[in-house]
Amino acid sequence: MKTRASTDFSDPARRIVVALDVSEQEDLVRLVKTLRGAVGMFKVGKELFCSMGPDAVKIVQDHGGEVFLDLKFHDIPNTVAGAVRSSCKLGVSMFTVHASGGMAMMKAAVEEARSCAGGPMVIGVTVLTSLSEDDLDMLGLAGPAQSAVVRLGRMAMDCGLDGLVASPQELRALRAELGKAPFLVTPGIRPLNYAADDQQRIATPKKAVVDGADFLVIGRPITRAVDPLQAVDAIAEDLVQD
């Protein structure tokens, strides 16, 4: 099990998880070759996994990168346990489950992950960063968003998860409620002067870390940059500025 004490963030770029939201192998290889060693992990999500399957994970690993498998498992406990078992065989470093899948599902995921040698971190998704307060109302989720995130986050940690995915706007509330224990993985990161795109609850990298984020999931500001490595360097430099 990965612990905070064993996690080295002395290099601020190690906090960066690059979202590989691509569908072509050529783009995948180019980004990993360019950024390996310069960032902490690479996120393989639904777009890439549905395009290339487990080969996407292997390609990242073969080129020297660690994988955060972000498929957001959400199903009956037995099915999720099987998916976790397969994820362990792939050698991923982290994977996600939806906290809204319930306690039995999350416990099954944790139990399966712990049974693997060097098992991956289990990260619970609380409320998607693309959802607004109006969206939560329409879905029948008791809001506001911060209350929903804290409620789901507390439940996830009671089930033994290693950390949570939450937007930058809920970080302080989660730290106040849950302390230092959970790793907080934060999407919706946008450097200054970068468009919000389809994200609703966003923040700059520096603000997110100050508020309690451990890992920053960043996609388009890096992957669509003219020079992705330069974009990573600029973000890392901003993180150490007073």
Active centre residues (catalytic): 72
Which DSSP string corresponds to 180-196?
T-SEEEE--B--TT---
Instruction: State whether residue 18 is helix, strand or coil.
Output: strand
d(CA 221, CA 219): 6
Beta-bridged to residue 221, according to DSSP, are: none
Beta-bridged to residue 186, according to DSSP, are: 216
| Phi, psi values for residue 124, rounded to 5° | -95, 130
Q: At what angle do helices 103-114 and 77-90 cross, to 10 degrees?
A: 30
**Can you read off the two tokens belonging to residue 16?**
């960066």
d(CA 25, CA 69): 17
For residues 52 and 27, the answer to whether their CB atoms sit within 8 Å is no
3-state secondary structure 106-170: HHHHHHHHHCCCCCCEEEEECCCCCCCHHHHHHHCCCCCHHHHHHHHHHHHHHCCCCEEECCHHH
